[in-house]
Chains A and B, each alone.
Chain A
Amino acid sequence: MSLLSVRNLTVGFGDQDVVRRVSFDLAEGQVLGLVGESGSGKSITALSVMQLLPPEARMEGAVELERRDLNHLSERTMCDVRGRDIGMIFQEPMTALNPLKTIGDQVAETLVIHGVARGARALARARFALDRVGLPEERFPLSRYPHELSGGQRQRVAIAMAVALKPKLLIADEPTTALDVTTQAQILSLLQDLVRKEGLALMLITHDLAVVSQVADQVAVMKDGQIVEAGRTESLFRRRHHPYTRRLFDAASYVPPRTPLRLGPPLLEVRGVVREYRLPRKGLIGAGGSLRAVDQVNLTVGQGESVGLVGESGCGKSTLSRAILGLEPLQGGQINLAGRKLPEPRKVPGSLRRKMQVVFQDPFGSFNPRHKVRRLVSEPFYLLRGAHGDTGTLVAEALRAVGLKPAVMDRYIHEFSGGQRQRIAIARALITRPELIVLDEAVSALDVSIRAQILDLLTELRQEFGLAYLFISHDLGVVRAITDRVYVMKAGCIVEDGPTHRVLSAPRDAYTKELIGATPRIPDAWAEEAAG
């Protein structure tokens, strides 16, 4: 008998339906993976089960929990169901907790609200719940505040709150998307452990097929508000019946075709670079300490070479990339570009700056919303003062190179999708005819199908213009797809480097091994069958 049964669920805003006739079942002790790209309706489906949709949404169909239709419960009764029968955790652990209350109080609140326990007894049970999710008393007393915890630890607190009353169903909406891979692995195994030992049913919403392949018993693939394919995980992964499922899988593991390039002499040389930040002073007189974000780093990128730089958040890879771009002063070492030493940030000459450009992660924050594409793309022209050539022609050329029509130059940036914006960002980087492009998590915010297209584009451009890439990412899959060599960074230091296929298949450093071990992968055997 299924615990949760969703029948013909349709959710709409205004006259547009964002979830259409969705049906699925979930039994006790089972994990259902709901997979799809952004806008596929998977989060809305989860919120419908919780009855937490915004008031302007309209909902039809049935959501039955143990044969009780939640759609027909009063808001008051539904409050009793939430937290007691269904728990839910969300994507962003940094903002999911109230910053002003202790973690003990926040976990205990679940018990207090449902009248299960109060005062010291509620706190004792909160303690138990926190122990259960791997936050032991010695290091995580109840009196801790959220800002004293890391993202992974906060996600554990959120899980403790959701499971404190041992609900029958837990809904997890992209619970590990904002976390590093090693933390992701820990949170996923915690969730699996809860399912196995407490008989909880888990509805896991994610965009990541590899995560689903490791955790879920059942999978439902969503597209444009509909479930296009559903079934047991292994058989669905092996069969890939629906064309969209197939496309999704191909895009996720996409490796652009490459012809080997002849590599030139070193273009970028980073030698013993140190970047320290002064920490804020304590009080008015106390001297502040300093934080070494980049510590004695050596790194080389040859002409026309594609080099990866991987590491988890806070390891210093973004600081290093800013130093390479001539935006951060160094406290030691030096950076050479095309044989010339990079001076301090204010003194970098335009002739040197134009040799390197950058593409950022966020396709929304990368552009001044007040300017048209023509002006956005031509901004680096500033470096080519006195250069010949008409702006319009050069912008048009750059736009054509990234697969956009020149006519788009008279539009504003908000008229474009995320993938198109990333193309425009690449056009902006191309306009000075640079030799090196720093790609800072440049495809991380994109859906897999768009990501595959951008990876293709990057590969083509590299062949066409002989570009070198420094590809900074936390995603080993993407690094594997597009780089020749890779550096692994941890706590400001490079711990390992070498040819990408060697480092990723036979890592030598303990941290690299941990990183690779933690990265979820679809079992190779499942993929073979589909290919054959």
Chain B
Amino acid sequence: MVRFVLGRLLSLSLSLVVASLVIFAVIEVIPGDPAAFMLGLNAEPDTVAALRAELGLDGSPVQRYLAWVTGMLQGDFGTSYTYRVPVSELVAARLWVSLPLTLYALILSTVIAIPLGLIAAARSGRPADFGIMAGTQLGIAIPNFWFAMLLVLVFAIHLQWFSAGGFPEWDEGVWPAMKALTLPAIALALPQASILARVMRSGLLENVGQDYIRTARAKGLSRRQAIVRHALRNALIPVMTIIGLQFSFLLAGAIIIENVFFLPGLGRLIFQGITQRDLVVVESVVMLLVFSVILVTFLVDLAYAAIDPRLRRRA
């Protein structure tokens, strides 16, 4: 098991290195001179030279890459050209909105989907199954940001149960902050829960047809017991794959949906960064997003090994 974790860690670091190379190449090498790019066409040569010096663009790409990476490892993401503050500060504040929102949605999606999938599988072919399948078919087709707008229309504007947007800082207590994240989390979670419930259902049904379920039935387990005690755990393997993939969808979704609720998260930061051509901000936030996706993939791999003994190497 230790060996398995070490192997996965090594592959995680390798992915991070390659990913950072790709990001670096796109942002700093393809535009030619990033400083000139950031300042636009009408920039004075002096200003460009000054920015070049500030960004440390005088070295070779290899030197600059190494400087960028060592900086990140020490928590230094450079200084935003537009905000004139360290990017790490900018990101840290906003990460505390985007990341909780993503996790909130992920938990919500899982909590909704697994029972729904179970019910649909246990009642397969009956009205409950039909209803769940039809509902999830619709859920998958709904864009989360539009769903978010509908939620605002109904629950914030008409019913006024929630505020239409904005975010109280966490300092003001956990509950107000959680409340502000609830509508966005629901908007994000429902479409993903629809996918997950369907995966859960088909995973269960596929396993119910397996030989080992027949063996379990021959031992005296009822159909329901066989599903809960045997098929469930086997069906969780594909479900986990999807949960891992959903993290990246939800993170991307969170960034988009922040626009609907005027949440001060990474989304606002990065879209402003794009319009203002603040490559330092864009580069860092993208790296951070990719890092979190790779990290979640790693965690899912570990979870696989925890569930499936066939993947654990006997060390």
Contact = CB atoms under 8 A, between A and B. Distances in A.
A and B physically associate? yes
Interface of A: 50, 52, 75-76, 79-84, 87-90, 92, 95-101, 109-110, 113-114, 145, 147, 158, 161-162, 282-285
Contact of A76 (B14, B214, B218, B222): B222
B310 A145 contact: yes
A100 B3 contact: no
A99 B213 CA distance: 11
A285 B13 CA distance: 14
Nearest to B219: A83
A184 to B, nearest CB: 19
Interface residues of B, number: 28
A413 B59 CA distance: 68
A79 B220 contact: yes
Nearest to A85: B220
A96 B211 contact: yes
Contacts of B220: 79-84, 110, 113-114
21 contacts: A79-B222, A82-B219, A89-B215, A89-B218, A90-B215, A92-B211, A96-B212, A97-B212, A98-B212, A98-B215, A99-B212, A99-B308, A99-B309, A100-B308, A100-B309, A101-B233, A109-B219, A113-B219, A113-B225, A147-B309, A147-B310
Given A90-B211, A109-B229, A100 B234 contact: yes
Interface in B240-289: none
A-B interface, 8 closest residue pairs, ranked by CB to CB distance from nearest: A83-B220, A283-B7, A95-B211, A88-B218, A83-B219, A82-B220, A145-B309, A98-B212
A482 B309 CA distance: 45
B222 A75 contact: yes
Given A84-B220, A99-B212, 11 more contacts: A82-B217, A82-B220, A83-B219, A90-B214, A90-B215, A96-B212, A98-B215, A100-B234, A147-B310, A162-B218, A283-B7
Given A90-B211, A97-B212, A99-B308, A52 B218 contact: yes
A99 B3 contact: no
Nearest to A86: B218
A299 B48 CA distance: 79
Contacts of B230: 98, 101
Interface of B: 3, 6-7, 10-11, 14, 210-212, 214-222, 225, 229-230, 233-234, 307-310, 313
Contact of B214 (A52, A100, A101, A110): A52
A80 B3 CA distance: 44
Contacts, number: 88
B310 A99 contact: yes
Contacts of B6: 283
A100 B215 contact: no
A97 B215 contact: yes
A305 to B, nearest CB: 42
A87 B218 contact: yes
Contacts of B233: 98, 100-101
A284 B234 CA distance: 27
Nearest to B231: A98
A75 B224 CA distance: 12
A285 B220 CA distance: 47
A158 B219 CA distance: 10
A118 to B, nearest CB: 14
Nearest to B233: A100
Contact of B215 (A84, A158, A285): A158
B58 to A, nearest CB: 37
B232 to A, nearest CB: 10
B3 A283 contact: yes
Nearest to B7: A283
Given A97-B212, A109-B229, A282-B3, A82 B218 contact: yes
A145 B3 CA distance: 19
Contacts of A147: 309-310
A144 to B, nearest CB: 9
A95 B210 contact: yes
Contact of A100 (B211, B216, B219, B307): B307
Contacts of A101: 230, 233
